Amino acid sequence: MRIFGGLPRMYWYLWTGMLINRVGGFVALVLSLYLTADRGLTPSVAGLVVGGYGIGGIAGVLLGGVLADLWGRRPTLLVAHFGAAVLLVGLALTDRIAAIAVLAALLGLMHSMPGPAFVAAIVDVTPADDRSRAFNLQFWAFNLGMAVASLVAGALAEVSFTLLFSVDAAGTLITALLILWKVRETRPEHHARHETAATPGGLHTALTDPAFMLFVGLSLLLAVVTLQTSTILPLAINADGLRPSAYGSVVAYAGLLIVVGQLFVPKLIGRWRKGTALAVANVLLGLGFAYVALADNLYGYLIAASIWTVGSMIAAPPNAAVIAELSPEALRGRYQSVFYLVFPAASFIAPAAGGASLEHLGNWHWAICGALGLAAAAGHLLIQPARERRVAKQRAAERFEVPIAG
């Protein structure tokens, strides 16, 4: 079976850059721990600072998509990575809380900017028949890099947070230099002219599409629950008296489980309806995070991680498929950009609300996460029939070249 071969060389430069960047990109994983353990902030205040990182990410997603089309993929990637390296050095050197908050927000912007440019570049250089395999390998690299980053982050946090920021900056700089050296501009020369002349509608079409926005809303619930891993979970582990390396081990274990298990998920859920698969995934995610309330040692957290990680693996294939099938062919980029905002939005909501929830409600916070997972599961089952009718109607219209209003 062909897994790694046959893809363009330029794709592999992009893939390598993403992998190096992810291995080095571990500051966001321990930012809340740094603010509470090293800077003495309360969980609520730390959550707001980390939430600022998410706000910056929202702006970064939009800015990155616009610049990738106006400037090109390569300049956008270079600005984002060189900018992030400078900001990480700033975080390593400053101890003023106000400055840390501003730098964190700007870092969120720079960390989110490359996403649309990376995706656009991969589409530019990869033949249509190979794109599914290319993005599967991208997802695999993301989780492999996350697993390694988690182990490194936990170990470095026990030595020095300044060293942690410095190593992250070095990894980001290496990615920028690789892009500068090996990645050419991939944007088609006719892109801008074609975009303005031939593409109907705009972001408002996606934002006023009821079926799509219901799905986006449920995906936001999923993302808020999932991002407890990188925002609130470190605080719970620290409160149980475990060392930072324990958190690194939990996240690394989850990442490695995805790297190994994701290969078998498509066959497991191949005959399931997409809404059913997403419902099962959300139930498992909710149960996994609810189990954190019972965990008080490393083994308990590993059990919880096993449950929520299986949910994450089941969610990935149908999630991508639903986005693709709800997107009109001429507006796929805009629909993707709207969906992409889910993650920086969740990066703000998860720590901002989660920090206060954990501080004032204790372990009931994790019960609330479980309830959110169950609510999202119910939502997917409820909207499934209408969404399937919408998709069938859209496909029939496209066969007969009849335009469908969003």
pLDDT tens digits along 155-179: 777 777 788 888 888 888 999 999 9
Task: Determine the angle formed by the axes of helices 97-112 and 43-70, rounding to 10 degrees.
Answer: 40
pLDDT category, 68, cuts 50, 70, 90? confident
Residues 232/362, Cβ–Cβ less than 8 Å: no
Ranking 107-116, 311-320, 359-368 by mean pLDDT, the lowest is 311-320
Confidence band of 196 (pLDDT split at 50, 70, 90): very low
Tens-digit pLDDT profile for residues 301-342: 999 999 999 998 888 777 766 776 776 655 555 666 778 788
201-406: which CATH architecture? Up-down Bundle (1.20)
Instruction: Please name the residues in contact with 112: beta carbons below 8 A apart, sequence gap of 6 or more.
Output: 56, 57, 58, 59, 60, 61, 64, 344
Place of tokens 């990645």: 183
> How far apart are alpha carbons 11 and 367 in whole angstroms?
42
- HEC secondary structure over the chain: CCCCCCCCHHHHHHHHHHHHHHHHCCHHHHHHHHHHHHCCCCHHHHHHHHHHHHHHHHHHHHHHHHHHHHCCHHHHHHHHHHHHHHHHHHHHHCCCHHHHHHHHHHHHHHHHCHHHHHHHHHHHHCCHHHHHHHHHHHHHHHHHHHHHHHHHHHHHHHHCHHHHHHHHHHHHHHHHHHHHHHCCCCCCCCHHHHHHHHCCCCHHHHHCCHHHHHHHHHHHHHHHHHCHHHHCHHHHHHHCCCCHHHHHHHHHHHHHHHHHHHHHHHHHHCCCCHHHHHHHHHHHHHHHHHHHHHCCCHHHHHHHHHHHHHHHHHHHHHHHHHHHHHCCHHHHHHHHHHHHCHHHHHHHHHHHHHHHHHHHHCCHHHHHHHHHHHHHHHHHHHHHHHHHHHHHHHHHHHHCCCCCCC
Which residue spans of the chain are classified as CATH 1.20.1250.20? 9-198, 201-406
- pLDDT at site 331: 59
What digits encode the pLDDT tens for the residues 263-311? 677 678 778 888 999 999 999 999 999 998 898 888 899 999 999 999 9
Highest mean pLDDT among 26-35, 66-75, 125-134, 384-393: 384-393
User: Residue 191: pLDDT above 60?
Assistant: no
We find that the CATH architecture of domain 9-198 is Up-down Bundle (1.20)
